[in-house]
Amino acid sequence: MALASTQYGPVLGTGDDVLSFKGIPYAAPPVGPNRFQPPRPPEPWTSPRDSRHYGATAPQTSTEGAMAELIPRTIIPGDDYLNLNVWTPGLTGRAPVMVFIHGGSFTSGSGALAVYDGTRFARDGVVLVTINYRLGADGFLWFGDGTPNLGLLDQIAALTWVRDNIAGFGGDPGNVTVFGESAGAMSVCTLLAMPAAEGLFHRAIAESGAAHNTISPSSARLVGTRLAAALGTAPTREAIADVPVPQLLAAADKLTQQVAAKPRRKLWGDVARTLLPFSPVVDGDLLPGAPLDRIRSGAGADVDLMIGTNSEEARLFLVPTGVAAKLNTPLLYAAAGLRFGLPVAGVRRYRANRPGATAGDVLAAVMTDSYYRIPAIRLAEAHPGSYMYEFAWRSPACGGQLGACHGLELAFVFDNLDEPSAAGMLGPAPPQHLADLLHKTWITFATTGNPGWPPYTPPHRTSRHFNTASGTTTNNRPDERLTWHHH
């Protein structure tokens, strides 16, 4: 057992070589009068708080169908879910700090997933923190009045807690790297553009998410109005707060499915492009402008940035669902044109570069670039000195069809290939040497700001390629990159 101090009271953790403290509240429970309000400080305590087990997680539905085995969820009931977890090599010293923001489309996930266990980061000299934040309607519903972007404000409150308390856990508050995957990476890139987050972190890593996934106030109102109509309530936060949580979660899930089925701008505004009805809003104040524009104008310029994607991100969404197998050539051209704005000549370029590929394979490549790779490149271009990577190891799962899909790199980054809940996505015998390399690279960047290869700078556009055999590439797939020049 171990005892550490925070500004709100002492916490009791566990461990020997590595110490862990779980479920530490960084803000008051966001329920009752605190619901739909900015995060408020937790009530202080005097007796040591038992922090040997994960705390509550944000309300969310459980995974169903084909995705349940690939993307497990940890759901722990309770109101006090604005909490965080710390793994540390010791309570003295000033180790680099890494704060992980989980993904899950801004509607699911938590810092309590087993694959995010930070033991191996702490073993290798890093203080690792994972956090929860408000999800779905509670985190991102906005009608234009009150405070927007509550989920992002939760993340800022957690980073503020790290700044003010992490020295008591052996961490250096002057060397904090924030990193995230998917919606967590989108959060990282949005935080780069938020004045309220300035100075809270010094380095940033964005895995499979960039600075394109925000929506306008009018789009947020469209989503909120449609959610209220589905619930039969007035279009206000106060009315929606009276809806039982299970009913609200079910309605929000159904709304997300409706967006995916008919992603039309007339119905959903910007959400037709992002497919994320609950996501950061460019409100003009907390988030003064679109993150990419803000970063291009110098926001976050003093933050070291590493950004990357997986080679076949979209296969996670197209293979287990059976969509890829059902696609034929006419549907491919229609889907690529309507959904991604890619002209027929562009689709033909992708097809020509992949001899023998099915229509589903080509759509997966187009979707991967549209939603992940090209936005990552745009961010690297907007933030001079950024480092880029591509994770290309192909999982043998789903009969070898899953490939280098979305989320696959996480178990490698955390060096948790032996975590049973990751087996569905990893398949048998994932390469430990690749986990050693990825894990070490993330730590090197967090420690020094340089992962070990040149920045992504035109015309060379150097990028690190992670696979069974890893190396660097220059000007990777330029013909396909230029296909998106109009975007």
CATH assignment of the domain containing 128: 3.40.50.1820
DSSP 328: -
Question: Domain check: are 9 and 154 in the same one?
Answer: yes
Query: Which of these is catalytic: 181, 207, 313, 409?
Result: 313
CA 308 – CA 213 distance, rounded (Å): 16
What's the confidence (pLDDT) of residue 286?
97
Question: Domain check: are 24 and 35 in the same one?
Answer: yes
Question: Domain check: are 238 and 346 in the same one?
Answer: no
My answer on whether omega of the bond before 459 falls inside 30° of 0, hence cis, is: yes
What's the confidence (pLDDT) of residue 69?
79
The residue type of 322 is G
The residue type of 184 is G
What's the confidence (pLDDT) of residue 486?
67
CA distances from 349 to 403, 477, 487 (A): 21, 11, 17
102 is catalytic: no
Question: Domain check: are 268 and 393 in the same one?
Answer: no
Question: Domain check: are 181 and 100 in the same one?
Answer: yes
Question: Domain check: are 330 and 456 in the same one?
Answer: yes
User: Residue 156, SS3?
Assistant: helix
What's the confidence (pLDDT) of residue 292?
97
What's the confidence (pLDDT) of residue 231?
96
Please report the beta strands in 182-270, taking only residues with DSSP state E, as ranges in sequence order. Answer: 203-207
Question: Domain check: are 300 and 438 in the same one?
Answer: no
Neighbours of 356 (CB within 10 A): 5
406 is catalytic: yes
What's the confidence (pLDDT) of residue 334?
78
The answer to whether residues 311 and 231 touch, using CB atoms and an 8 Å cutoff, is no
Query: Which of these is catalytic: 202, 212, 383, 406?
Result: 406
The residue type of 113 is L
For residue 8, what are its two tokens? 């709100």
Beta bridge pairs of residue 129: 86, 99
pLDDT string in tens for the chain (487-residue length): 899 999 999 999 999 999 999 999 999 999 999 999 999 999 999 999 999 999 999 999 987 677 777 888 999 999 999 999 999 999 999 999 999 999 999 999 999 999 999 999 999 999 999 999 999 999 999 999 999 999 999 999 999 999 999 999 999 999 999 999 999 999 999 999 999 999 999 999 999 999 999 999 999 999 999 999 999 999 999 999 999 999 999 999 999 999 988 888 888 999 999 999 999 999 999 999 999 999 999 999 999 999 999 999 999 999 988 888 888 878 777 777 778 888 888 999 999 999 999 999 999 999 999 999 999 999 999 999 999 999 999 999 999 999 999 999 999 999 999 999 999 999 999 999 999 999 999 999 999 999 999 999 999 999 999 999 999 999 999 999 999 986 5
Helices (H), 183-314: 183-192, 217-231, 237-241, 245-261, 265-268, 271-274, 291-296
Query: Which of these is catalytic: 20, 105, 110, 182?
Result: 182
Question: Domain check: are 259 and 394 in the same one?
Answer: no
Question: Domain check: are 270 and 295 in the same one?
Answer: no
What totals of helices (H) and strands (E) does the chain contain, helices first? 21, 13
Question: Domain check: are 46 and 186 in the same one?
Answer: yes
CA 307 – CA 163 distance, rounded (Å): 24
313 is catalytic: yes
My answer on whether omega of the bond before 375 falls inside 30° of 0, hence cis, is: no
The total of structural domains in the chain comes to: 3
For residue 241, give its domain range: 217-274
Question: Domain check: are 352 and 264 in the same one?
Answer: no
Question: Domain check: are 41 and 116 in the same one?
Answer: yes
Q: What share of the chain is helix, strand, coil (3-state, %, to 5)?
A: 40, 15, 45
